[in-house]
Amino acid sequence: MHIQILTVGKLKERYLVDGIAEYVKRLGPYAKMQMIEVPDEKAPENMSPAEEQQVKVKEGERLLAKLGADVYVVALAIDGEMWTSEQLASSLDKLATYGRSQVAFVIGGSLGLSSELLRRADMRLSFGRMTLPHQLMRLVLVEQIYRAMRINRGEPYHK
C-alpha cells in the first residue's frame, strides 16, 4: 500500500517531527509512506469571510495539484465520519484488497479545507468534534495508520 499524507504548512516543532519520523519508520514493513507539505497562506486573525475563503481556495489548489487521478482521497474534516481504529484498519484493508492501494489523507491548514478539495475527496474522516492543531493531527494520523496496519496483521499493539 502507498499512503500519502498531504498537509498545509511546514512542521517546525521538533517533538512532532521526531514523533512522526518514528511512526513512519515503524510503518516501513507495512506500507510506503510519503509526507507532502504545501505552503500555507498568511492568515491574520481579523480576516473577513471572503478573505478566509480565498486562503482556503489557494491552499486547496496546492493540495489538489499533488493528488493523482487514481488516488483514493480521505479528507480530515470535523464534519466527517468518526471511526474506531478497527474501522480504519478494515477500510484500509478493503481498499488494498480491491485495488485502491494508493491512498491520500489530506489535512488542511488552520482554516480547514476548500470546498473543491472536499468535493474531490472519496470520504471525510473526523477524529472527533474537537478542533486539533493541524500540526498535531499529523502525528495522531500517522500513529492511527500504524495501529491499523498492526490490527490488519493481527499483531499486538497497546490499547
**64 in a labelled binding site:** no
76 labelled binding-site residue:
yes
| Backbone phi, psi, residue 92, to 5° | -65, -40
User: Was 1 annotated as part of a binding site?
Assistant: no
112 is in an annotated binding site: no
Determine if residue 11 is labeled as part of a ligand binding site. Answer: no
Q: Helix H segments across 28-98? A: 49-65, 85-97
| DSSP conformational letter for 112 | B
Residue 128 annotated as lining a ligand binding site: yes
Neighbours of 123 (CB within 10 A): 13
129 marked among binding-site residues: yes
Residue with cell 509526507: 35
Measure the CA dihedral 8/146/123/132, to 10°.
Answer: -50
Q: Binding residue per annotation — 117? A: no
Q: Binding site for S-adenosyl-L-methionine, residues?
A: 76, 108, 127-132
Residue numbers belonging to the annotated binding site: 76, 108, 127-132
